[in-house]
Amino acid sequence: MAAKKITRYLLRLDDACPTWDTARWERVLALADECGICPILGVLPDNRDPDLVRGTADAAFWPRMRELAAQGGTIALHGYRHLAAYKGGGLLPLHVWTEFAGAPLATQQAWITQGLHLLRAQGLAPELWIAPCHGQDRNTLRALRASGITALSDGLASVPYRRGGIVWVPQQLWTPMEKGPGLWTILLHPNTATDQEIETLGNFLRAHREEFLSFPSALEMFPPVPFTPLLALRERCSLLRIRVARARKRLRVARLS
């Protein structure tokens, strides 16, 4: 059966760092393990975001990351320090302020080089890039190519594609839901996930465990396609729908306040 005729999912877990919320992360990781799912793990090399300091640094964090990688999890370089100081949005402007998009090329190159060094010093081998706040621009892609990173997790298409010399594996879902044919990445931030969100994810993983792939197997089943004008148009339409949905949510909240 052709890949375009089937539905498959990836699970991505962001903001892994030594000051993680250990209990919530382990709950989510236990669900993935129960269902035989190898997640993408967005690891922060040098967290400076106070919102991600959920406790004292966990001495078991880096050994745990190495263990998960050995079990089939995919380690992703998740930015550098998780500080959104640049305004511009980048190639997928889901947020105004980001860590990388808008920063000078030399700065981005230095951050990516240092981030990779820090993760590799912990015995990890990052296989792809995850930009904090979805913020990457053309300079980010140049810096990634120079560093040897060839893939990233982002985009709103239904299949992986090549753009700027990098393979984009789309991440389109922030809550589990059944989708049609294509490859769909579900993103969860375990540090801030509610009990209900974790329960919802667990129910979805159990019901669809056979449809989940690891990152390497996803690229085998869904070879990247060119980023055509039609694909770009579809992605812009998806971006517009997300912006409209967010605006409506803000309006509802304002009316209730």
Average pLDDT over residues 51-80: 96
**CATH number of the domain that 96 lies in?**
3.20.20.370
My answer on whether 61 and 138 are in the same domain is yes
Say what the pLDDT of residue 4 is.
Answer: 57
The H or E element that residue 203 is part of is: helix 195-208
Q: Exposed, middle or buried: residue 35 (CB in 10 Å: 0-12, 13-18, 19+)?
A: middle
Q: Give the confidence band of 45 by pLDDT, cuts at 50, 70, 90.
A: very high
Average pLDDT over residues 203-211: 98
Say what the pLDDT of residue 243 is.
Answer: 80
Instruction: Say if residues 191 and 43 touch (Cβ distance below 8 Å).
Output: no
Average pLDDT over residues 21-39: 97
Does pLDDT of 254 surpass 90? no
My answer on whether 59 and 90 are in the same domain is yes
Mean pLDDT of the chain: 93
Average pLDDT over residues 11-27: 97
My answer on whether 236 and 176 are in the same domain is no
Q: Give the confidence band of 1 by pLDDT, cuts at 50, 70, 90.
A: very low
Average pLDDT over residues 118-127: 97
Distance CA 15, CA 157 (A): 23
pLDDT in tens, 127-165: 999 999 999 999 999 999 999 999 999 999 999 999 999
Distance CA 148, CA 151 (A): 9
Global pTM? 0.92
My answer on whether 233 and 161 are in the same domain is no
Say what the pLDDT of residue 8 is.
Answer: 98
Does pLDDT of 41 surpass 60? yes
Q: Structure tokens of 90?
A: 């980048």
Distance CA 213, CA 238 (A): 24
Q: How many domains does the chain have?
A: 2
Say what the pLDDT of residue 2 is.
Answer: 45
Average pLDDT over residues 116-120: 98
Pinpoint the alpha helices (H) of 35-186.
61-70, 105-121, 138-147
What domain range is 255 assigned to? 227-257
pLDDT in tens, 213-253: 999 999 999 999 999 999 999 888 888 888 888 778 777 77
The H or E element that residue 74 is part of is: strand 74-78
- Which of 100-109, 115-124, 239-248 has the least mean pLDDT? 239-248
My answer on whether 151 and 254 are in the same domain is no
My answer on whether 252 and 184 are in the same domain is no
My answer on whether 95 and 161 are in the same domain is yes
Average pLDDT over residues 188-194: 97
Does pLDDT of 123 surpass 60? yes
My answer on whether 64 and 130 are in the same domain is yes
Average pLDDT over residues 177-191: 97
Average pLDDT over residues 77-106: 89
My answer on whether 157 and 254 are in the same domain is no
My answer on whether 185 and 233 are in the same domain is no
My answer on whether 93 and 188 are in the same domain is yes
My answer on whether 205 and 256 are in the same domain is no
